Amino acid sequence: MNKTKARSEHIRKRAKIEEKYSWDRMSDADDERQSHSTRAVIASIVVLTIFTLYLFKLYEVQVSSHEYYATKSDSNRIRIRPIPAQRGNIFDRNGKILAKNITTFDLIVKKEKINNYEEFLSKVKTIIELSDSQVKNLNKQFRNKRIRDITLLEDITMEEYSKISVDKHALPEIELGVRSRREYLYPYSTSHVLGYTGNVSDSDVYSGVIDIQEGMTEVGKLGVERFYQNILAGESGFEKLETDALGEIIRTVETKDSKRGDDVYLTIDIDLQNYAYEQIKNKEGSIIVMNPNNGDIISFISAPGYDLNLFTKSISTENYNKLINDIRKPLINRAINGQYPPGSTLKPFVGLIALEENIINEKKLINCSGAYSLKNHKRPFKCWKKEGHGPSDLSYSLTQSCDVFFYRVAELTGIDTISENLYKYGFGQKTYLDLYNESSGLIPDRDWKYKIKQEPWYPGETLKLELDKVIF
């Protein structure tokens, strides 16, 4: 009985265990099918998402951003080669040419084609004789990542051109470039009028004065060339070239011709200009000849001058140092940069101011005894004529340049009235001639002296205005 009861209890416990840990094969199959279905849905969603993104990208490339990607693609095979405009000529008032263009050949190095620089340099030296300074300059420009093309030689001779043309197949890294170079027909007499052209520099780019166009390599640096840069320069063109994977040109896709710059006609008479320069070329000074009826400047000389054609090519260090170290300072434009006391040329203005202010009239007589004494001043102010001019009115004093007459008139008029009116006549101001870097003159007055020296203005200084105070 006990055995039967124990067996029944064992069977009951076993049944519970089997019931607890048993599994249904049909139920498991359903779960498996459900799992496969879920994975399929997830995979479908992933595939659909990828396909949707692909379609979106395709739309962006083909439609929405087509221009951007087309341009990016073109940049890999399209090269833009600028066509510089020919510069306008400069003429004198009679149509005589002063500055023109001549065609020259340059040797250009294409940096992107150089695989081994040392090997390239070695090959170049077998064809062209290069100086140490030229090699040094080539090395420097090759290391400069901003420079794409290097001008190795400028204005090469026909002999050099022929030799390079024959051997060019061995040097695919070089090209013979044709360019227009400035030539000045009267380089010394017009040096401070015309100025010269030179390579574009950073200061030119950021000057805000001139327009720098794509492909522009030269701009006016000084004188008329600088002042009328935007008129003389013209408008650059371009060639759109299709290239292969090696960078070789396949065809020309598009061409826009350059537009030649406008000519400029000056009021200068070159015959008078040359004559005037010959008179003072070995001295230091300036000559300006002006038509008083209309203000035309017929001649504009600053001596000594210098050879403008030295700058049309890259000026050598030797030549530049000669100009810089020349004790006569040929690079200084004395006509617009020099500052000088006016001397007796100020007398007509002092007389005119006194007339306008009713301080004197044209018949006012002042006796010139050869000197003029000023109260509280130890030394008299002397006239150039030791024995004096005697009683003198304005007209006579102007023709004789009598110092005493104008000493007295200046004292009567006073520094405040004189300085104020001189400014109205243009003293102390720039003339705004068609040249940059002009210096203005100086009209001294009480405020100026106190600011500079912290001293009052003395009456005797008014009398000496024309000698050493006013500056043109």
Alpha-carbon 436 to chain mean position: 12
Structure tokens at 78: 């399209």
The span from the CA of 210 to the CA of 389, in Å, is 56
C-alpha distance from residue 125 to each of 121, 152, 171, 176, 323 (Å): 6, 12, 11, 16, 32
Outline where DSSP puts E strands in 334-404.
Answer: 366-368, 371-372, 381-382, 390-392
Instruction: Please report where in the chains the tokens 């101011």 appear, as a residue.
Output: 353
Of the residues 344, 392, 439, 440, which is catalytic? 344
Angle between helices 117-127 and 158-167 (to 10 degrees): 130
Is 439 one of the annotated active-site residues of the chain? no
In sequence order, what are the residues at sequence separation of 6 or more whose Cβ sits closer than 8 angstroms to the Cβ of residue 458? none
Q: How buried is residue 117: exposed, middle or buried, by Cβ count under 10 Å (0-12/13-18/19+)?
A: middle
Q: How buried is residue 331: exposed, middle or buried, by Cβ count under 10 Å (0-12/13-18/19+)?
A: middle
Q: Report the DSSP pairing between strands 90-91 and 264-265.
A: parallel
The span from the CA of 166 to the CA of 163, in Å, is 5
* Catalytic residue annotation: 344
